[in-house]
């Protein structure tokens, strides 16, 4: 930190993205990307005429993209906010809906970026422990008197609440925004988007990075009451009104129009997940029941760090956390069938050496 940086950031611990080593060609199961390329329509859109207009600013209102998403989710354009990845949706939401007086609550085990945003903006954070079985208990979020954010399905556990359970949380906090991060919802979770029509304090955040194979294009969005979306727009127009570039906008619209392709990919991921879970069960692993494109699994004879290192040596990247409650687990992205077989083979090979 230079002597010019604001002293309020002295203790700020930034987010650590999943590693991207370049020393060899890894089977990359550590950042929950899709193993499938973007749809042919997306490739055509990116390679089309739009590139010739890159000298002109993009539409700051993102009208066509918001209309496409509104049609897909059965809402109006005014209910849709788009951003440079769902991280930006979260960033703007922390800025808009939290402050020194109105803090934020989130689970102790969830997306690692929530505490970073709270630190960045000096927002007081109530960290609510998951239950010992990693379950998020909705009743733990009653009357907290602050904004609430959590991932559903949760990460890195993969466990999901039903929409009815989320609704109970939204009803129990009528004076505060409940932000549901549905980054992983398309792999078997139940979306709360339909509830946004009933509850003006419910904001649902989603991404094109997982089910829609566009992690490299950076596109996230939120659906909610028009007044909440206007609040986010006020922040966007006060930070970066042209936050979505032309190529990403074109890719996003084409992706919405490729729903059949992506739904099919999601089905394949769910099949590969079931296959991997079953294969690991045969090997004595304990795996949480996942509704996401990853699993959180514990090896019977190695802790998470040891398994991570053994797999990395064998060319397979997974993710682990060096925290007491998570130490026995690794998080494994569900990729293609050949990727999962490579993972399983590496697991078997690693365990031979114990």
Give residues 150-189 in contact with a second copy (rule: CB under 8 A).
176-177
Which stretch in 64-72, 116-124, 125-133, 309-317 sits in contact with a second copy by CB under 8 A? 116-124
From the CB of 110, what's the least distance to a second copy, in Å? 17
**By the rule CB under 8 A, 252 interacts with a second copy:** no
H/E/C letters for each residue in the chain? CCCCCCHHHCCCCCCCCCCCCCCCCCEECCCCCCCCCCCHHHHHHHCCHHHHHCCCCCCCCCHHHHHHHHHHHCCCHHHEEEECCHHHHHHHHHHHHCCCCCCEEEECCCCCCHHHHHHHCCCCEEEECCCCCCCCCHHHHCCCCCEEEEECCCCCCCCCCCHHHHHHHHHCCCCCCEEEECCCHHHCCCCCHHHHHCCCCEEEEEECCCCCCCCCCCCEEEEECHHHHHHHHHHHCCCCCCCCCHHHHHHHHHHHCCHHHHHHHHHHHHHHHHHHHHHHHHCCCEECCCCCCEEEEECCCCCHHHHHHHHHHCCEECECCCCHHHCCEEEEECCCHHHHHHHHHHHHHHHHCC
Tell me whether residue 114 or residue 134 sits nearer to a second copy (CB atom). Answer: 114
**By the rule CB under 8 A, 216 interacts with a second copy:** yes
Tell me whether residue 8 or residue 309 sits nearer to a second copy (CB atom). Answer: 8
**By the rule CB under 8 A, 238 interacts with a second copy:** yes
**By the rule CB under 8 A, 247 interacts with a second copy:** yes
Site map 277..316 versus a second copy, x via CB under 8 A: ----------------------------------------
From the CB of 326, what's the least distance to a second copy, in Å? 21
From the CB of 112, what's the least distance to a second copy, in Å? 11
Site map 67..86 versus a second copy, x via CB under 8 A: -----------------xx-
Which stretch in 45-53, 67-75, 274-282, 310-318 sits in contact with a second copy by CB under 8 A? 45-53
From the CB of 149, what's the least distance to a second copy, in Å? 13
Which stretch in 43-51, 124-132, 186-194, 345-353 sits in contact with a second copy by CB under 8 A? 43-51
């Amino acid at each position: 930190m230079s002597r010019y940086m604001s002293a309020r950031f002295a203790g700020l611990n930034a987010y650590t993205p999943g590693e991207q080593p370049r020393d060899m060609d890894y089977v990359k199961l550590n950042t929950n990307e899709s193993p499938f390329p973007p749809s042919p329509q997306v490739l055509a859109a990116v390679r089309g005429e739009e590139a010739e207009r890159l000298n002109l600013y993009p539409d700051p209102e993102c009208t066509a993209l918001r209309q496409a998403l509104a049609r897909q989710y059965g809402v109006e354009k005014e209910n849709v906010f788009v951003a440079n990845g769902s991280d930006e949706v979260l960033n703007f939401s922390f800025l808009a809906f939290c402050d020194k007086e109105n803090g934020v609550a989130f689970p102790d085990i969830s997306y690692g970026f929530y505490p970073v945003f709270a630190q960045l903006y000096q927002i007081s954070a109530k960290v609510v422990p998951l239950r010992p079985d990693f379950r998020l208990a909705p009743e733990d979020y009653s009357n907290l008197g602050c904004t609430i954010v959590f991932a559903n399905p949760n990460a890195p556990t993969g466990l999901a609440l039903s929409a009815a359970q989320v609704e109970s949380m939204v009803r129990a906090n009528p004076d505060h925004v409940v932000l549901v991060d549905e980054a992983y919802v398309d792999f078997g979770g139940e979306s709360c988007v339909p509830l946004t029509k009933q509850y003006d304090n419910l904001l649902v955040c989603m991404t094109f990075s997982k089910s829609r194979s566009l992690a490299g294009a950076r596109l996230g969005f939120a659906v909610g009451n028009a007044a909440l979306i206007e609040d986010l727009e006020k922040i966007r127009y006060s930070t970066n009104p042209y936050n979505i570039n032309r190529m990403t906008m074109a890719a996003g619209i084409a992706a919405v129009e490729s729903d059949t392709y992506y739904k099919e990919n999601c089905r394949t991921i769910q099949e590969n997940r079931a296959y991997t879970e079953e294969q690991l069960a045969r090997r004595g692993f304990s795996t949480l029941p996942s509704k996401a494109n990853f699993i959180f699994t514990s090896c019977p004879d190695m802790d998470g760090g040891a398994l991570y290192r053994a797999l990395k040596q064998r060319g397979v990247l997974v993710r682990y956390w060096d925290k007491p409650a998570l130490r026995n687990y690794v998080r494994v992205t569900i990729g293609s069938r050949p990727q999962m077989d490579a993972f399983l083979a590496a697991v078997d090979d690693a365990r031979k050496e114990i």
